[in-house]
Structure 1
Amino acid sequence: MAVDIPNLVFPYGQENVEKAIQTQVDMPSRLKKKHGHAVAWSVEDHGDYYIFKCIIDLPKEENINHSKSAGVVGVDLNVDHIAWSNINVKGQLIKSGVLAFDLEGKSSGQATKIIEAEAIRLVDLASKLTKPLVIEKLNTTKSKGSNPYGNKKANKKMSMFAYRKLISAIKNRADKMNVAVFEVNPAYTSQIGKIKYMKRLAISIHQAASYVIARRAMGFQERLPPVLHSLLPEKSVGLHHWTQWKWVSNCLSDVHPHCLYQIELSIPSKHYSMSDLFPPGALSDLVAKGLSKKESRKPIA
């Protein structure tokens, strides 16, 4: 018995389905066997609802946006939001934002739907800007979340689930929308963003990280500001800038993020300790005492 399903519309890809069907209809019968492409349909019965699927062959897009000529959109993925930064070819910030979501208490199926929806929003943003996306290579060894769901073990499990799903959803959507996705080394992106750009650009830690991610994809290197460079131990002066950032971030690891909004990196670089980078009273006595021990081994001119 034939059943007519009226008004069947797919949430995305509908135009591709219609084009594939119309191509088959318009093609002369003698050519369909050799040049035609099958349109496959399937119906899944889930009791309370049905899922309709259509499988078609899509031609490979030749004009997928791999160009960084106008800049990129950097992305910092987190367990409860996506931070993004749109930069130009000079590495300057054009605009930054956050796509927030909540996975707490959600089943894996519900979480997947939420993540896929945010991936669509992100990729559609990049598509409108005609710029590729840049994400970090997935680091499975540690969680970037700050314990939002209680115990650390549960948080890490949720984080890894969210990160993997986010990356997969973003890449799948980007493939459909012909948006390129580049990956960069995640080394010290959050620390650099937090210390160097968070205050300067008046954005959050994660937005600052997405900005650094975007700049890294464009080939920019994040050198230490002169005042921080003057505080480096002598043995670290000639090392790779990531090693120098590691030393700086270790020194400032006990400083609360809100205090870093008060850090002053444009002052003359003749200071004996990092506590001099903050206005009086900005740091607790304990933190200030710890920073005062981080003295430069370089002579002060």
Structure 2
Amino acid sequence: MKKNSIEVRNLSFRYQKEDAHLTLKQVEFHVKQGEWLSIVGHNGSGKSTLVRLLNCLLEAEEGQVLINGQALSSENIWEKRQEMGIVFQNPDNQFVGATVEDDVAFALENNQVPPEEMQVRVEEALKMVNMWDFRDREPARLSGGQKQRVAVAGILALRPNIIILDEVTSMLDPEGRKELMETIAAIRSQQAITVLSVTHDLEEVSLSDRVLVMKAGRVKSLQTPQELFQRPDLEDLGLDLPFTRQLVEMLDLDVSGYLSEEELQDYLWELQSPR
């Protein structure tokens, strides 16, 4: 039985002690080792606040966060941060190196990784995200999708067992989103890394194992992507209808359950094929 990489118990938080309003209210969930959990919900539902609590960038008013079985505390915060890597919405805010290679090496230098091992890790991480050929480029001259892949490489070089993605596709065009998510999916498959992603993107959600829906600071539901996409209240949750569901409704097809684009394509092909 797989262990929990992340466990959140009865977590509550408010930004100002004098505020009557809690930003998060008794949030509870877990993420198994190697699992991909997406977190969705309206802006202001508490998604990004939750991410910052997981990495102790904020301090909870009540409750616990356990990382690989150990509760986060002031004593182990730095050790636990080594086990997690966070990629934020705007990669420009994470770049510090003059070149792509320098940038990926920066955190390794701070962690006093020996130069020989550092070179191996940088090359390995950049090849994982298909950015090794860009190692001498300035990060500022890359496309949005390329920048995010370099930001992911910087995290992978640290070899965490948990990756947290905070709205990483929101500033990318459709092709950039697709490329980045395919990269994350491939890395997760190869290394059994636990992935937690905050997102509005349904393609990203469809890659996950389970989806946590947040509403007004609380956990509204926890279900598979297929179960979520069948819900009649998706727009109330801050999500657009999946393209396949929109098409099924437009064509008035008798389809039970959610179909991916490939499955819907096969279904339509069968309808048109001679019997």
TM-score after normalising by structure 2: 0.27
Greater relative contact order (CA < 8 Å, ≥ 6 in sequence): 2
TM-score after normalising by structure 1: 0.25
Q: Considering fraction of residues, name the structure with more strand.
A: 2
Tell which structure's C-alpha radius of gyration is larger: 1
